[in-house]
């Protein structure tokens, strides 16, 4: 079975989000961490490969170079269609790189037109008359107008994208989308003949995105957030059971948390309140040379092997500020990431087969320490939080990489107890 869709995501949590969307559409999906090279192996039998880059805030020339590297690798693996995943809140000012990256992908694919739609209705992101809404607010009235890196002070997608590309940008409006797949295809064709390169489409619901996905099936390059990816995925015939369904059910379960986001702190509190074994890592002690890893492993060995364990560096804003004041922000982060990466390796060596990691940077540290470059995506425990399967290199590991603010407060206990019964 050859690859059907190659997806390029502009950040890691966006990569997980879009991989979960393709999987929800029934496609066998692999997630690759970082720009691939000739040594990057793709799990066998996948329909979609998502390459997660860190290009969202990068200068346009860097983002273009990384995206073209990913596109070449995906094409070499057989992908006929490229999906560019950017943020559902666009997160790209007039100096942003969505226009330059899309133009470069179109040129390399030898095609003249693409369809864009950042709508993601389950997260309240909709597009109407080309304006992006976040729930009941225009993007430019939403808290995203204060984003530290990409303040979104305009909601008009045609205007935003026109500032990033020398090519023409135009809209397919909602009444056309409501008329269905043929109407969208005709509008796309009319725009292409008129010399438009970027066609933005309105979408208010998942049904609208399914129409757009079906209409975009033959386009070599399509762009947007997870919503259009799911619509596109649903237009492909699905094939056979997902190999990720063979996730390991045996072995011990652990959570490693380095995220200090509010939702992660709630999840830690819920795990503790459920009476499950939790250990807080003393980051300052580790910095003075104490064998915090050795102590953590001694603690782990003393726990009931039937219960999931939680080891966390996560701290409240006050504790975090105190550690950062003493060690410096980047030294503190490096210290924590080193600790959690090493612990991940030790835990897997000791038989952990189900590992949940909280935090984007933390996930990067753990996958690097475990030498995991690609995983197969399985079903979601919560929206945008899928289980993944890291194959033979890790002895068969079920891995969940959770973005800081994703998942319900009981995610840790629910995700790990779902399989605990079978591990007994
Ligand atoms: N006790 C601590 N002291 C200092 N730094 C810490 C501590 N605990 C965690 N950190 C650092 O805080 C950062 C948390 O970032 P991370 O990306 O893992 O979580 P997040 O920002 O909540 O997740 P996401 O990026 O998915 O939203 C990491 O760099 C981690 O090393
Ligand atoms: O599209 C979104 O909102 C998310 O997938 C995202 O990009 C997170 O950074």
- Ligand 2 atom at shortest distance from the alpha carbon of 125: 3
Whether residue 362 sits in one domain with residue 268: yes
Q: Is residue 353 part of a domain?
A: yes
pLDDT over 70 at 393, yes or no: no
Whether residue 181 sits in one domain with residue 50: yes
Whether residue 162 sits in one domain with residue 279: no
d(CA 412, CA 397): 17
Whether residue 327 sits in one domain with residue 354: yes
Whether residue 349 sits in one domain with residue 224: no
Q: At 365, phi and psi to the nearest 5?
A: -65, -40
Given 234, 261, 283, which residue is the final one in a domain?
234
CA angle, 74 as apex, 71 and 77 as ends, to 5°?
A: 150
d(CA 49, CA 4): 8
Encode pLDDT of 75-125 as tens digits: 999 999 999 999 999 988 888 999 999 999 999 999 999 999 999 998 899
d(CA 79, CA 73): 9
Q: 78, 66 in Cβ contact below 8 A?
A: no
Whether residue 39 sits in one domain with residue 98: yes
Q: Would you place residue 424 in the very low, low, confident or very high pLDDT band (cuts 50, 70, 90)?
A: very low
Token pair recorded at residue 19: 């991989």
Crossing angle for the helix pair 262-273 and 411-423, to the nearest 10 degrees: 40
Given 176, 201, 234, which residue is the final one in a domain?
234
Q: Which helix (H) or strand (E) holds 198?
A: strand 196-201
Encode pLDDT of 327-384 as tens digits: 998 899 999 999 999 999 999 999 999 999 998 889 989 999 999 999 999 989 998 8
Token pair recorded at residue 195: 């010399």
Q: Is residue 247 part of a domain?
A: no
- Ligand 1 atom at shortest distance from the alpha carbon of 337: 31
Q: How many domains does the chain have?
A: 2
Whether residue 161 sits in one domain with residue 286: no
Q: Is residue 240 part of a domain?
A: no
Name every residue whose Cβ is closer than 8 Å to that of residue 267 and which is 6 or more positions away in sequence.
257, 358, 407, 409, 410, 411, 412
Whether residue 117 sits in one domain with residue 18: yes
Given 234, 266, 298, which residue is the final one in a domain?
234
Is the minimum distance from the CB of 70 to ligand 2 under 6 angstroms? Answer: no
Range of the domain at 99: 5-234
- Ligand 2 atom at shortest distance from the alpha carbon of 91: 7
d(CA 276, CA 260): 20
Q: Is residue 106 part of a domain?
A: yes
Ligand 2: centre distance to CA 114 (Å): 20
Is the minimum distance from the CB of 11 to ligand 2 under 6 angstroms? Answer: yes
Whether residue 278 sits in one domain with residue 191: no
Q: 184, 211 in Cβ contact below 8 A?
A: yes
d(CA 310, CA 280): 8
Whether residue 183 sits in one domain with residue 267: no
Q: Is residue 246 part of a domain?
A: no
Q: Is residue 376 part of a domain?
A: yes
C-alpha pair distances (Å), 402 with each of 78, 117, 140, 382, 387? 29, 25, 28, 10, 9
Q: Which-ligand-closest: CA of 229?
A: 2
- Whole-prediction pTM: 0.88
Whether residue 270 sits in one domain with residue 300: yes
Mean pLDDT, rounded, of the chain: 92
Token pair recorded at residue 190: 């009319």
Whether residue 392 sits in one domain with residue 354: yes
d(CA 348, CA 359): 19
Q: Is residue 164 part of a domain?
A: yes
Give the residue-averaged pLDDT of 145-156: 86
CATH number, domain with residue 325: 3.40.980.20
Q: Is residue 283 part of a domain?
A: yes
């Amino acid at each position: 079975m050859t690859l059907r869709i190659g997806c390029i995501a502009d950040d890691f949590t966006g990569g997980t989000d879009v991989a979960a969307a393709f999987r929800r559409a029934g496609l066998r999906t692999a997630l690759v961490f970082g720009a691939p090279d000739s040594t990057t192996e793709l799990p066998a039998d996948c329909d979609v490969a998502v390459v997660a880059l860190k290009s969202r805030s990068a200068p346009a020339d860097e983002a273009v170079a990384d995206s073209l590297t990913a596109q070449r690798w995906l094409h070499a693996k057989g992908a006929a269609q490229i999906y560019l995943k950017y943020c559902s809140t666009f997160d790209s000012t007039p100096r942003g790189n969505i226009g330059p990256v899309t133009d470069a992908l179109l040129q390399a694919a030898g095609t003249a037109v693409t369809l864009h739609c950042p709508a993601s209705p389950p997260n309240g992101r909709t597009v109407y008359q080309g304006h992006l809404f976040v729930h009941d607010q225009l993007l430019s009235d939403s808290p995203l107008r204060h984003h530290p890196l990409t303040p979104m002070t305009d909601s008009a997608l045609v205007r935003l994208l026109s500032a990033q590309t020398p090519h023409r940008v135009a809209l397919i409006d909602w009444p056309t989308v409501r008329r269905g797949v043929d109407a969208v295809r005709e509008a796309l064709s009319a725009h292409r003949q008129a010399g438009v390169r970027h066609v933005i489409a309105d979408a208010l619901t998942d049904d609208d995105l399914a129409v757009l996905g079906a209409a975009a099936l033959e386009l070599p390059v399509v762009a947007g957030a997870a919503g259009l990816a799911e619509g596109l995925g649903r237009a492909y015939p699905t094939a056979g059971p997902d190999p990720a369904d063979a996730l390991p059910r045996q072995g011990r379960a652990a959570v490693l948390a380095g995220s200090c986001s509010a939702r992660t702190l709630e999840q830690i509190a819920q795990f503790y309140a459920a009476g499950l074994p939790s250990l807080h890592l003393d980051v300052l002690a580790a910095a003075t040379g104490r064998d915090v890893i050795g102590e953590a492993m001694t603690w782990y060995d003393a726990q009931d092997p039937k219960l999931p364990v939680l080891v966390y560096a996560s701290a409240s804003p006050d504790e975090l500020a105190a550690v950062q004041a003493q060690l410096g922000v980047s030294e503190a982060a490096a210290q924590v990431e080193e600790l959690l990466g090493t612990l991940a390796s030790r835990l897997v060596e000791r038989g952990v087969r189900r590992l949940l990691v909280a935090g984007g940077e933390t996930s990067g540290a753990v996958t690097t320490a475990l030498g995991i470059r690609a995983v197969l995506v399985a079903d979601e425990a919560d929206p945008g939080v899928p289980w993944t399967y890291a194959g033979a290199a890790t002895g068969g590991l079920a891995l969940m990489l959770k973005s800081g603010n994703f998942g319900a407060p009981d995610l840790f206990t629910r995700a790990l107890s779902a399989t605990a019964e079978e591990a007994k």
